[in-house]
Amino acid sequence: MLVSVLLSLSCVAELPQQGVAAKVLATFDGGQIEADHFDRHLGADARHQQSGAEALVHILRLQIVSIEAANLGLVATDEKIDERIAIAVEQIEAADMSLEKLLASRELGMREFRELIGNSILHEQLVRHDLNLSIFAEVSPQQLEEWSNNKLNELLELSKEAPPGMALDAPPFRVSEQELGRIMRRTMSTEELQDRLEQMVLTVALPKWAADNKAILSSDILNDEIEWRRKRVNENPAYGGASYEGLLEAKGMTLESVRQSDELRVAGYLRLLSEQVMPDSFFDDLSEELTQRYDNEYGETRNVGWILLRADDEKESPLDLDFDEAKEELLALRDRIKTAKDFNDLAYDYSEDDRTRRRGGMLGWIHHHEKGVTTALATAAFSKEGTGIYGPIKIVDSNPLLQPLSGMALILVKDIRPRPSKDAFQDAVRRGTHRDLRQSFLSSITLKSVFKPSN
């Protein structure tokens, strides 16, 4: 339990000193991002992030213990803290680690670590006090958790009304966005930190690029981006029929907060950049290979579902199916299908692809090449002339990026949407390049980050 106090703060990225000053997290042409600025950026957006909620809980747990203990005159003596640290060191070394390296990986000094240990001692004393336990009684992790949660709930509710610059302002409990961001920086993965850092750099560099190139970010462009997002939600059965606004509400956001966000403006600037990189003339000179690729990725779409029975050439157990047996079972199911609803009901009852089974077998609207969709399935769905139920079809895919798949399937092509108009198609291609475009732009401004030293 002692080691868990330390391990409750996940490793942060090691901050290499070469090429970047100690308190500067990133440099790029015409600017830099300092740690304090980055922490404020993280904290300001924290209420919409799981990592932000976790960091606020961590800070408040410590504050609650410190304030409650002070009110009762409780103290954690240096002697008791030393005893706990000695035990912690034994546990850490038993795991082939060292205290010094663990503290460094979490940007903790020994003084702060002693404060964390002292806080954990006070936490136990408070639980004993409130439960009228003996000072020698053992306190369980569950008792500690319940005590903190009883105090936390009201404060977390108050945090929703915090003024700008604050994550919580309910004296004596106060947490600034910068303090919250500092804890988030310790608890987020290196990949998450790099992504958020890149986003922050883009909020600075893209407006400058737009001004230099006389590109205007209009409200129409921002509205187009919102409509693109709304359409993706509406067409994806994974969202269970939820609306875009409903998803925002679940995250504590509104459409207006999205409109005012830096994140939406970055997406808007990337739309402007994509138009410059891929003007209309770009599409007039595409190679045959690139034309086919874009057509597969952004052309015709089909609303597709499937019922999968896993099978293989050889059985590993009597309960397994070979391809012939799976085919026979699917033929029997096909005879029972008269409507799309029949297909959905049978998919829910029999399909062995759990991801889509809960949605009545539906993958939703897909392109010929769709990220996250088994290639063999998409190929089979697009090889058919029109709507209907097809199969059983053998589906074998050993793509290492997805779970290896072997089985037979019935495929429902529920609807077909033809290749969009020329303008809509070109817009779709441009929007699909945002991730690559983002990285090439960051390279063009020579971004160097402590979270990605290879930059």
pLDDT in the model for residue 50: 78
Map out the domains of the chain with their CATH numbers.
2-188 (no CATH), 193-278+433-448 (no CATH), 300-417 (3.10.50.40)
pLDDT in the model for residue 402: 57
pLDDT in the model for residue 18: 40
pLDDT in the model for residue 49: 77
pLDDT in the model for residue 45: 81
What's the average pLDDT block by block, 10 residues per block, for the chain (455 residues)? 47 40 84 94 83 89 95 95 91 87 81 92 95 92 92 90 92 94 88 94 97 96 96 82 87 87 96 96 93 94 96 87 95 95 96 92 92 87 92 82 81 95 96 95 96 71
CA end-to-end span of the chain: 39
pLDDT in the model for residue 17: 39
pLDDT in the model for residue 401: 56
Mean of the per-residue pLDDT values for the chain?
A: 89
For residue 143, CA distances in Å to 13, 49, 57, 360 come to 33, 28, 17, 43
For 257-275, how does the pLDDT look when each residue is reduced to its tens digit (9 = 90+)? 899 899 999 999 999 999 9
For 367-404, how does the pLDDT look when each residue is reduced to its tens digit (9 = 90+)? 999 888 888 899 999 998 899 999 999 998 876 555 67
pLDDT in the model for residue 454: 62
